[in-house]
Amino acid sequence: DTAVSQTPKYLVTQMGNDKSIKCEQNLGHDTMYWYKQDSKKFLKIMFSYNNKELIINETVPNRFSPKSPDKAHLNLHINSLELGDSAVYFCASSDLGDTQYFGPGTRLTVL
Amino acid sequence: GNSVTQMEGPVTLSEEAFLTINCTYTATGYPSLFWYVQYPGEGLQLLLKATKADDKGSNKGFEATYRKETTSFHLEKGSVQVSDSAVYFCALTAQGAQKLVFGQGTRLTINP
């Protein structure tokens, strides 16, 4: 009965590769988010989708492309991975304007 | 712009001690305020929230009161346990906005 789930939990890859992280929520929320947590634990929003439409894009490099096939899923694809992309990526969901609920995170390590 | 400032960590306390983690914010209008907790190796969990001035959020013995006059939302607990060891994040959503703006997090360690 997991509310917000992410796969994979850990992702280790080489520089220059392309990878995807998947997120699913079963809470019936209409808004989903991606946040990045850096090595100092600082959290910052990257993207938000409401009913499959992009509503927030926080000056993230265009190597990062979110895709929302339906309102229960929000995937994050990253092209040409760089060392600085190493972080923990969190997915979250909410009803618009309401409390956000987070997934368990995906720890990405770029070698 | 909107921002959240938390007290610098790490904070180390003995079991049953009183806890305060300070949080102040800058925002226009009337933001909603949150405390999230991240236990070791886990994701973020909502601990408590308050959506208007003078509201008190509470959960698991933790409390925080939304003080508009001092733009603060300090987290308190009367008697901490070892299991409270975690990183605590204060956050806000600005009025009419969707994104959470987080403080830098405060690492709390409780010793038996």
* pLDDT, tens only, A9-66: 999 999 999 999 999 999 999 999 999 999 988 999 999 998 888 888 887 889 999 9
- The reply to whether B93 touches chain A by the CB within 8 Å rule is yes
pLDDT of residue A103: 94
B54-69 tens-digit pLDDT: 999 999 999 999 999 9
Pairing of strands B106-111, B11-14: parallel
Give the angle B96-B100-B102 at the CA atoms, nearest 5°: 135
- Please name the amino acid found at residue B27: A
User: What share of chain B in percent tops pLDDT 70?
Assistant: 100
Instruction: Check whether A1 has a pLDDT greater than 70.
Output: no
B77 min Cα distance to partner chain A (Å):
22
Instruction: Label residue A52 exposed, middle or buried (CB < 10 Å: 0-12, 13-18, 19+).
Output: middle
- Tokens for B41? 């190796």
Q: With beta carbons under 8 A apart, name residues in chain A contacting B49.
A: 99
- Chain A CA closest to residue B97: A97
- Tokens for A15? 């520089």
pLDDT of residue A53: 87
